[in-house]
Structure formats: structure tokens, C-alpha cells
Amino acid sequence: GRITKIFITHLHGDHFFGLPGLLCTISLQSSPDLNKPPVEIYGPLGLRDFICRSLELSHSQLLFSYTVHELVPTRDQCPTEEFKDFSYLERDVTLQGAQGRILHLDPVENSYLLVEDEQLVLKAFRLFHRIPSFGFVVEEKPRTGKLSVQKLKDLGVQPGPLYGRLKSGITVVLENGVTISPSDVLEDAIPGRKICILGDCSGVVGEAAVKLCCEADVLVHEATLDDTQEEKAKEHGHSTPKMASDFAKLCKVKKLVLTHFSQRYKPAAERDEGDTDVTKLKRQAELVLDGQEVILAEDFMTIEIPMKK
């Protein structure tokens, strides 16, 4: 019931068929509130039509409003023969219950700006898959640096309300007429945390992804098949541990999390004789990253990213 935003990487059934059911579950845990902001859903063009039709055909009535913001993909995000032009959906005005923005690729930034507020920025970037797929980067904005007590003393600023005003970014004028700007007494801004999540892909499209993911605290990347199956992985628009690790290394990320494993790789506890252990993928990735620890994602896993100081 606390969910406010949902992000869909691509329109393959295993990644979005459950969405109408999730919305109905949220509705069951909600109470009517006309003042509550709508649940915002982001995903490729065509997602709005799917959700509206699914809810309409199933006679589902939600107790909350929702908005669907659609990303218009480019033709170079999948094999030419697989690309389907849904541009006619941009002009569909019949689905009044879920209007939202139509987001085109920013030709300068080579990305899509999805969310920006006082605390964070969330963007999408293009991936190559069998159908258009997207990655997402969530980045906190830098926090104001600490006040330098020594600089304040040197300038004759006594502890009190002026400290708070300077910390808030307000220039102050002392009784002796001296003007002090926040930049005079604040230490360097504290960088925010950054998380990057890639949908199904065998690579990125354009240069934006490397720039956006640079020095991310966590990179979540698919690794469907092991390194010996690289050609097969690419053929189906997927990645291997080496491919994921090469991208992580290029972006200088601090922690790599692998996900989206083929059913052939079993958790150690469930492995029968002859089965391939999923830790094989972990070992292959760590080899590329010179022993840096790689995490294998599991359902309901929580990864803590400490605030930077």
C-alpha cells in the first residue's frame, strides 16, 4: 500500500504480466482518499494500453488513481525485424483514466528524465534486447556540506541563528557590515548515493549509460547464462557474468549485483547431482573484477547503501 512509483524495463510477459494483479492487490490494501497522489507507472510505449484494457476486461475497480508515463523507444534498441511501431498509441485519447506523459529521448542528454525533486533524480537509458528495453538510474542530489566552525570563528560569526541561515544557503550580513556567503563557510557538498538497474540486455545503446552509471554505489545487471554460453546469450539479447562485469568495470561501480539467472543454475541448497550451481556465475564475474565481491540477487534480498559522510 506504500508503493507510489513502479518502473517497467520492457514489455516481455515475465516482466509485466503481473502488473494488473499488483495494482489490484494495492487497491485491496488501500482506502479511498481523494487527496492521495496517483500511483505513477513508467515503462515503454504500449504499457498504458495494456493496463487499461486488462483492468477494463477484468471489471477491476481500483480505489486509487494511477498515471502511466510511456518511454518512446528508438529503432536501434532491438533487431530490425523485431521492432514494432506503436506510435499510433501516442495519439490514443480514449484511455482517459490513466493519462500521463509521453517521454521521447532527449537528443542532448541521450536519456529520459523521469523524476526530479529536491532529493533525487531518476533517469532511464536505452538497452539492446530482443525488444526495446531500458535501464534506470536513481541518484540522490548532493547534500549541503558541513559548516566550518573554524572559518566562522575567524570571520567573527558567533554561534546562533546565523549558523542555521548560512547552512540553509542564505547570505548574511554581520553588524560590522561584513557580508558572508554560504560558500565562504561551507565545506564541500556531500555526494548522494547512486543505484543503477538494467533490464534484460546484451549491451547498452549510445554513450549515456556509461556516464549515468559512472561510480554507482550499486549496479544491478542481468547474467542469464554463464560465460561459456556467451554467443547464445547475445543471440537472445542477454548477458553473461563477464559481460556484466566488463560494464561494471568500465563504469567503476562499487558493487555489482547479478540477477535474472536461467533456470539451469540452481541455488546450492536446491542443487541435485549434475545441476549447475549458480555460484559459478559469481566466480566468473569476480574473476573479471579481480576478486571484488559480487552479489547474487535473491527474492526479497535487502542491500544497505550507507549515507556518504
Query: DSSP H helical segments within 80-187, as ranges?
Result: 149-154, 161-167, 182-185
**Residue with the three cell numbers 556516464:** 211
State whether the Cα torsion 216-218-224-228 is positive or negative. positive
- Annotated active-site residue 184? The verdict is no
- Give the CA distances from residue 51 to residues 5, 12, 77, in Å, rounded to whole numbers and listed in that order: 15, 14, 23
**Residue 245 dihedral angles phi and psi, to the nearest 5°:** -70, -35
- One-letter amino acid identity for 69? H
Quote the CA–CA distance of 12 and 283 in Å, as a whole number: 29
Q: What are phi and psi of 31, to 5 degrees?
A: -125, 150
Catalytic residues: 14
